[in-house]
Chains A and B, each alone.
Chain A
Amino acid sequence: MADVSTTSGGAPSAAADSGVVLRADGVVKSYGKRRALDGVDMTAFAGERVAVIGPNGAGKTTLLQILAGALAPSSGTVSVEGRIGWVPQQAALYSKLSARENLRLFARLERVADADEAVARMLEQTGLAERADEEVGRLSGGNRQRVNVAIGLLARPPVLLLDEPTSSLDPRQRVVLWEFIGGLAEAGTTVVFTTHHVGEAHRYADRLLVLAEGRIVFTGTEAQLRASAGGADADFEEAFVALLERHSA
């Protein structure tokens, strides 16, 4: 039985008592006979940065969509403490509207108390204030991604899910985005992100979650992954590949 539950405000939950703000238990997602996710259990704590990494088709995007509530699991439960912000892999924006209009629309749909204040705040934080009234379709990929991230943060969610947030950004823009995300985490926001760049995962995540063929095959820190796969001095990328090979064998 699939179940996605969220709590907000002061209602404490078992997760909140232990500092857990996001929990997935036995999440399964099936497409016909194929299982994209096969009994995934995971947790994320307040202010933690969790990187979900894995090969193509491992189920990273599916997991984030289920955590975000955009996709219903076939079975299993997801519980979230408070609101959850979601930044999908492809910029989910209306290209005929300006950045400001997109933000205002989603602020209203999210029922943010002061939509105009939230829009102004996000435009300022993402450095888009000067281009706020340009149609999104005319913005660069990097700026579109900034608007995409800004929408995910409009309601000041305690948990932010980012699916491949840097895939369309140049190196300079990536650094700017990770600094911004780091600032959010320092302010207490839990950030769960997927990435193909394992370097980003070990640089910007507090904890790694390795997904392969729909299953969690490793949960821990960067150092723990190195130690388990190739020793403390091993190259991180090599250790990651070794882990996957060991799992597939």
Chain B
Amino acid sequence: MRWLFVKDLQVLRRSPLLVALLVAYPVLIAVLIGLALSGGPAKPRVAFVNLVPAEKNTFSIGGEKLDVTTYSDQFFEAIEPVRVKTREEAVQKVRSGEVLGALILPADATDRLQGAINLSGGEPPTVEVLYNAEDPVKRRYVESAIEARLADANQALSERLTKIAADYLRIVVDGGRFSLLGQDFNVLGLRKSGALLRSAVTSLPEGAPERVALDQVAKFAQLASDNLDISEPILASIGTPVRVKQTVVSGRRTSLDSFAIAVTVTISLMFVTLLLAAGMLALEREEHAFGRLVRGLVSRTALLTEKVVLAAVCSFAVTVLMLAGLSLFVEIEWSRAPQWLAALLAAAVAFAAMGVAVGALTREVRAASLLAFLLSLPIAFLALVPSGTVSDGMFDVVQAVSAIFPFKPGLQALDAGLNNAEPGLLRPLLHLTALALGFGVIARIGLRRFDR
């Protein structure tokens, strides 16, 4: 078996294109994923037209001036604005693809906002959003991005208005200074009014008819101040009427970035190992050497074992290199290296066993490679289908299919090794071991048909 191993390494060394592809592919994937994860999402470019005259950029509420640009700036935290002066210019930029969309703030925006605040009637301001619908994916992306940012700006404005309204109520309840139309007012407030009324009531003689009326007014002031006092938290709740409390009931606690690394490495491991194991075994028959080898020189089981070891060792080395490359971009816990190395090795052996099963069922390298490739994609796809996205019955089928191939347990093992994710390392390692043995048996049976 040692000499066969040496021979296969010589064959690989003489196939520089194949080796370059096998090494370059995961390294390239690692670099791309690393750049994508470390760079973060780019801000979408959106044209912005502010048709509001400069002198009308502010609106007042309760004597307080609010600048609309404060809220538009908040909007631009997640969007790269391309400022243009006219609607036509914005349309042109969207049409040419220079920007993903355009946002137009109408000239009467602040007037309408002021009218809405003053309850003087009329429609609230409406901003116009333009986007290019030639690409449904892009359209959905722009819609989501702009709507999310508009919702943020609306909420910020709402919270500000709520705070101002709450301040008014506080003055009504507790009293204080208040400005309106450039004039200052000193408001007594319901509490102090109540106290003055109660003081006035006590100064009246017993049985005085005014006493009953004043007492009723004092009680009203007390009742109003007590109830308006709790109106502030009620108003505050308008800004965010529904709050979210998130609890993970089951499944992983891995971040999306860490899970993306686990998926990327597992996919690369699967491709490299399957193609190598299936191809190298099929090569023995393509070169007609299989018959010569198994007539007493090497047992079929030893031949399969050699291919499994070769593919597993090579792909293990390549994916460790890949993880090292990824660690330049994202943080990988090297203290957990024993765990993720064990996961990689177990997954590599299971994939290699599956690869030799594929190789045993085919006679040519091309057929073996094609079959390995055709199997890989749906296996990976099925393993990544989340629960709830398909019917219960279909999900059971998906899980059952995923369980008989090494991708899902390989991903679980690597996720557990890298990120200490559920369901831990032991279960997927045992699963991978069982699959390796199972595929080994299939490969051995597959080779037997060439004895016929």
Give chain A's interface residues, CB within 8 Å of chain B.
31, 65, 68-72, 86, 88, 90-97, 101, 105-106, 108-110, 135, 151
Contacts and interface: CB of A to CB of B under 8 A. Distances in A.
Of A71, A96, A108, most B-chain CB atoms within 10 Å: A96
Nearest to B2: A108
B289 A94 contact: yes
Contact of B291 (A31, A88, A109): A88
B287 interface: yes
Contacts of A106: 292, 297
A145 to B, nearest CB: 12
A138 to B, nearest CB: 11
A90 B288 contact: yes
Contacts of A96: 10-11, 14-15
Nearest to B450: A71
A93 B295 contact: no
Contact of B288 (A31, A88, A108, A109): A88
B452 A31 contact: yes
B298 A92 contact: no
Contacts of B55: none
A109 B3 contact: yes
B296 interface: yes
Given A72-B451, A109-B297, A92 B292 contact: yes
Interface string B242-256: 000000000000000
B291 A70 contact: yes
- Top 3 closest A-B pairs, CB basis? A96-B14, A70-B291, A69-B295
A93 B283 CA distance: 11
B7 interface: yes
Contacts of A68: 295
23 contacts: A69-B295, A69-B296, A70-B291, A70-B294, A71-B451, A72-B451, A86-B292, A88-B291, A91-B288, A92-B289, A92-B292, A93-B287, A93-B288, A93-B289, A94-B7, A94-B289, A95-B287, A96-B11, A105-B3, A109-B3, A109-B298, A110-B297, A151-B292
A238 to B, nearest CB: 35
A109 B10 contact: no
Interface string B261-292: 00000000000000000000000000111011
Contacts of A69: 295-296
A132 to B, nearest CB: 15
A54 to B, nearest CB: 21
A88 B7 contact: no
B188 interface: no
Given A95-B287, A108-B3, A109-B298, A70 B11 contact: no
Contacts of B293: 109
Nearest to A30: B452
